[in-house]
Structures are given as C-alpha cells and as structure tokens.
Amino acid sequence: MPTTSGHTTAILASRVQGSSVYNVDREKIGSVEDLVLDKTSNEIMFAVLGFGGLFGVGEKYFPIPWSKLDYDPEAGGYVICVSTDVLETAPSYTLNDLTRNDGQVTRTTNEYYMRAM
C-alpha cells in the first residue's frame, strides 16, 4: 500500500537509522538515531531524532511521531514540516527515558506535535 508520497508502507529499520532529517525549509537538522517500537501493538511509537552537541556530547534526543516524517527522495532523507525553533523547544529525553513503559513520553510527544503542526 502506498503512502501519501507514493512510497510503500514497508521499510527496513536499518534503512531508516542514520537517515538525515530536514525541517520545512529543507535545512538538515539531525538524523534518525533509532526507532522505538511498541511491542504490544506492533507499531512504531516514534523515531528518535538526534541533534545538537558535538561528537555525541551534549546531543539531545527528540521523539518524533513516525507519521510526521515524510521521506523526500530529492533531499535523500526525511522531512518534518515544522521549523527548527519548534523542534528546539520540543520535549527531549535521554535514550533510556525513551523506553519507559509509563506512556508519558508518547503522550507528551503526540500532544506537543499536535499543537505545533
């Protein structure tokens, strides 16, 4: 089944990890560090965008709802249709916090991007 951009809905996680992520102005803002999966629903909870810092020190990890990323073949990466300012004020976490099972990260992330977009 194709997505809105005409791509299939199936993709290997190994192809997503490390992919560049661009803002609405097509400026590179980071890369997909990982994907967080929900083992009970078999769905992707969110992509983890890493940006900021230098050589991994001080880098922040931002969960991005998977549905908010669209692959742009011309850019060679994913685009999220928000400004860098919106991303810089988005909720960020440590990698360990992203896999907490209390649902708070997912709720906070989804609420933030619903308001921002």
Tell me the CATH number at 31: 2.30.30.240
Per-residue pLDDT, 53: 65
Residue 4 lies in a domain: no
Q: What is the mean pLDDT of residues 9-17?
A: 84
Domain residues for the domain of 107 are: 13-116
What pLDDT is attached to residue 7? 57
Mean pLDDT over each residue of the chain, to the nearest integer: 84
Dihedral sign for Cα 67, 68, 72, 78, please.
negative
Residues 43-86 pLDDT 10s: 888 999 987 666 656 677 899 999 889 999 998 999 998 887 88
Q: How far apart (Å, rounded) are the C-alpha atoms in residues 98 and 93? A: 6
| Exposure letters 76-101 (e unless 16+ CB within 10 A, then b) | ebbbbebeeebbeebbbbeeeebeee
pLDDT at residue 13, as a whole number: 86
Residue 56 lies in a domain: yes
Q: How many domains does the chain have?
A: 1
The pLDDT value recorded for residue 57 is: 66
DSSP state, 8? B
Main-chain dihedrals φ then ψ at residue 14, nearest 5 degrees:
-65, -25
